[in-house]
């Protein structure tokens, strides 16, 4: 059974995954989670995605 995801949710998920991937590519492995979180927050700001940290 395939679940239909609304287009707006799909688009937002793509933005989030693309931003997370960009951060990972730039920073690489081995940093603390807090470093990745801060950089992902900045990346999302640059991409003008509204979000809340640690909700």
* pTM, two decimal places: 0.84
Q: What is the pLDDT of residue 1?
A: 82
* Maximum Cα interatomic distance, the chain, rounded to a whole number of Å: 39
Q: What is the pLDDT of residues 11-27, one digit of tens each?
A: 999 999 999 999 999 99
Q: Looking up tokens 């640059």, which residue turns up?
A: 46
**Residue spans per domain, the chain:** 7-46
With 0-12 / 13-18 / 19 or more C-beta atoms within 10 angstroms meaning exposed / middle / buried, residue 8 is exposed
- Whole-Å CA distances, 46 to 2, 5, 51: 33, 26, 12
Helix (H, G, I), strand (E, B) or coil at 6: coil
């Amino acid at each position: 059974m395939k679940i239909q995801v609304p287009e707006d949710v799909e688009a937002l998920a793509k933005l989030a995954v693309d931003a997370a991937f960009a951060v990972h590519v730039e920073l690489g492995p081995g940093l603390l989670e807090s470093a990745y979180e801060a950089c992902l927050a900045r990346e999302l700001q640059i991409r003008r995605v509204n979000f809340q940290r640690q909700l």
